[in-house]
Structure 1
Amino acid sequence: MTDDTSTPSDEAAQNAALQKAVIVGIQPDHERRVLDEALRFARLLGAPLVVVHVDVTRFVTYEDPDGYVHSAPIDINFDAGAAEFEAVQAAAAEVLDDSGITWTARQLVGDPALAIKQLAHKLDAQLIVVGTRKRGIGESIREFFTGSVAARLTHRQHRSVLVVPLGESVPDSQKEIWPE
C-alpha cells in the first residue's frame, strides 16, 4: 500500500526491483537499533532494504486491480503523515546512504500490521523487522486497544519477523513489565 504520490507503473517497476527484500517498520524518533538490525540482515541476506512508515491517519479507500492503493485522510490535518514520512526518510538516509546496499522508503497507510503484511506479500519479502514498543502506561493502553504490531504480524503471515527490543530490558525479578 502506498500513498498517492507514486503512480501504478512506478510502483510496479519498483516492486520488481525489490523482490526478496528485508522490510523494516520505522516511526519518527525511532531508536536507531531497529534500522541497524535491519541493515545487518539485509547485508547477510544480500537483499535490498525497504524502510516503511505507516500513516495511521489515512485509510485505504479502494485498491485498483493492479494493486495501486487509493487512500483518504481520517482527519483534516493532511500534513501530519507527510511530515512523519519525511522525518523517517531523513533518519534512514543518515544511516543507509553510505551503507552500500540498495534501499528505498515507502509510506503505507492504514493498519500497520496489515499494511506491512500486504507489502511483504507484494515483494515476497525474506524478513520483516520491527521494534518493540516503549514501556509506559500510555503505550500499554494503546497496545490494549490496537494490539501489538509485532504479534499481529507473526500470527497473520508466514514470513519471519525480527522483533528488536527497545529501551532497557526488564529484570527477571520484576513481576510487572509495565509498572508505571
Structure 2
Amino acid sequence: MTDFAGHPLVVGVVPDQSPLVALAAVSLARATGAPALYFAYVDASRYADLEHPDGTVRHLSIDPDIDDEQWPEREAALVELVREWMADEDLPWHFRYLAGRPDRALTHLARAVDAAAFVVGSHVRRHHRRLTDFVNGSVSMQLSHRQHRPVVVVPLSVVDWEGRAPWE
C-alpha cells in the first residue's frame, strides 16, 4: 500500500460530471497532504499504443478504418471543465487523456505517478436494475478488485432508504 502522505491522488473524470468528485478529491488531498491531483479521462474507443513513464499515453483508434479526429476537442473540453473546478484551489493538478479499459488505464497512471488512491464518481445508470449491469459497468468495482490502492467513491445521486439503489 502506498502511504497517503506526500503522494498524489488519481481522479476519474467523465464528460458532464458533477463537480462533487473534484470537491471530494480536493478535500481528501488536503486531509492527507497530497501534493497534486491527477485528473484522468479514459477513452474506451481508443487504445494505448505507447505508455510513457509520466502516465501519459500515445493512443490510436480501435478501428483502423475510422480515425477519430474529435478526441483533441474532447480533451480540451475536459481540461476546461477541470480548470473551472480548480479555479479557486491552490492545489497543483494535471490532466491525462488515457485510452483503453478504464480500470487498467487508471491503474497505469496511478503506478506512474505513485498515487496513494483513486477518487471516482459513483456509477449512475438510470432504468437499469440488474446487478450484473451495475457490477460490470462500475469502474470503482473493477479498480477495487484489480489493484491495491484504495478507491474513494463519491455518490453522485442521493438514494434514500425509500428509493432504489442502482442494483435493485
TM-score bracket relative to the smaller structure: 0.7 to 0.9
Cross-structure match for 1:90: 80
RMSD: 3.0
Question: Is the helix fraction higher in 1 or 2?
Answer: 1
Cross-structure match for 1:137: 127
What is the distance in 2 between the residues matched to 1:83 and 1:153?
Answer: 27
5+ residue gaps, structure 1, are 1-18
Cross-structure match for 1:37: 24
What's the CA shift for 1:97? 3.1
What is the distance in 2 between the residues matched to 1:54 and 1:107?
Answer: 6
- Give the AA of the match of 2:125: R
Does the CA-based 8 Å contact 1:57-1:81 persist in structure 2?
no
Does the CA-based 8 Å contact 2:45-2:62 persist in structure 1?
yes
Does the CA-based 8 Å contact 2:59-2:98 persist in structure 1?
no
Note the 1:6-155 alignment, pairs <5 A. 20-47=7-34, 48-63=36-51, 69-75=57-63, 76=66, 78-137=68-127, 143=133, 146-155=136-145
Does the CA-based 8 Å contact 2:54-2:113 persist in structure 1?
no
Q: Aligned match of 2:158 in 168, 177, 180?
A: 168
What is the distance in 2 between the residues matched to 1:132 and 1:53?
Answer: 15
Aligned length: 160
Scaled by the length of structure 1, the TM-score of the pair is: 0.75
Tell me: CA distance 1:136–1:90, structure 2 relative to 1, closer, same or farther (3 Å): same
Percent identity over paired residues: 34
- Give the AA of the match of 1:162: V
3-state SS of the aligned residue for 1:31? coil
- Give the AA of the match of 2:23: D
